[in-house]
Chains A and B, each alone.
Chain A
Amino acid sequence: MRPVTHNTKVKMVEAPVGFTGEGFFTTKLSEAIGLARSNSIWPLPFATSCCGIEFMATMAAHYDLARFGSERLSFSPRQCDLIMVMGTISKKMAPVLRQVYLQMAEPRWVMAVGACASSGGIFDTYSVLQGIDQVIPVDVYVPGCPPRPEAIIDGFMRIQDLVRAESIRRRESDQYKELLNSYGIQ
């Protein structure tokens, strides 16, 4: 029989703060849900231009984004958690982006990858939207033109921190509703 070797080098996520006993572990519900959600984020890559190619490099084997739980890229907004907007958004594309955002189900997060998505980038012209936060609320901005894959992974880890620490009542709170209303979203 082949001897069983236990893999002692597996890195596991830290357990949340809680009370352990004989066969049980108690913690807050939001912490348990946050732990589960943050390590299984399904992103929607909304790749329009050059940052999309750096995203392809991030998904490839060298800088693997699947290690963080996002093995399955969903291209349907109804089934994704995180929309990663990568690339320049022009005024013609802004209504499309907004419609995709509106189709996402709560809880949803938005990551603006690259200078063009954050603030218009080097294209300060009549046809480019100067940052996607003109139309949708953004959680994390990743600067760079294009950002290195390590930077995209860093932004992804910041999103993971946000997801882990989020209260389960946030999406019904008045503050969140006010934020969405300021963008004209009901």
Chain B
Amino acid sequence: MQALVVKNAVKKFIDKKNKVVALDDVSLEIKQGEIVGLLGPNGAGKTTLISAICGLLELDEGTVSVFGKNALTQKEEVSKDINLITGFAGVLQGLTVEKLLYYYTLLYNIPEKEKAIQRVLKETRLEEKRTQQAQGLSSGYKQRFYIAKALLSNPKLLLMDEPTVGLDVKTAIQIRELIKQLKKNGTTILLTTHYMQEAEQLCDRIALINNGKIVAYGTTQELKKIAGKPKASLEEVFLFLTKEELKDDDE
């Protein structure tokens, strides 16, 4: 079964009277249980695509469906199946970790709230921070908090926007282990990262996005084949494929 189907997604923004094409006919399919990496330079369209999948952004053209449901017109239903981890959004100020998690259990209509909170605190090793103000957590613990918040609803599709950015090595390793565990449990994951090794280590398939277009999509080996560099590293393949696109744009 397809967990996520993005079909011919187009999104344009007006920036100082110029039209910026953030997504240019993007199509992407992710099978249930897969981890797919979405790699691209800054401003390539990763966050725009993730926002459209979450139903936070209306596309100009194309559709997004999550487990067969339209992300925009059936947003409420889709929101029950997905969750988002992003370090680019902040934590709500003024509440402790446990109260903030309780707040999210209400938003997701989780039946056994205290049990769910206990579970995610344990999974993310946040038990000792339970009564601390969430906004006072260090960046590593904040990232764990975002993961805890996302796991509360047992999402079938998890969107992770640079989950290990700015974290120390130990925390980053712990989060990668958690991602592997989630995959074992059957969670489908769409992951954006700038760390090629992380993508290679975690992802079943990788989509390279540049200038709002998916320039290549496949396993690491398939990407190397597409680039015509079977022995190159993923980093080299990434640079090669995105550079090709930049060259095309310059022409």
* Chains A and B form a bound pair: no
Name A's B-contacting residues (CB within 8 A). none
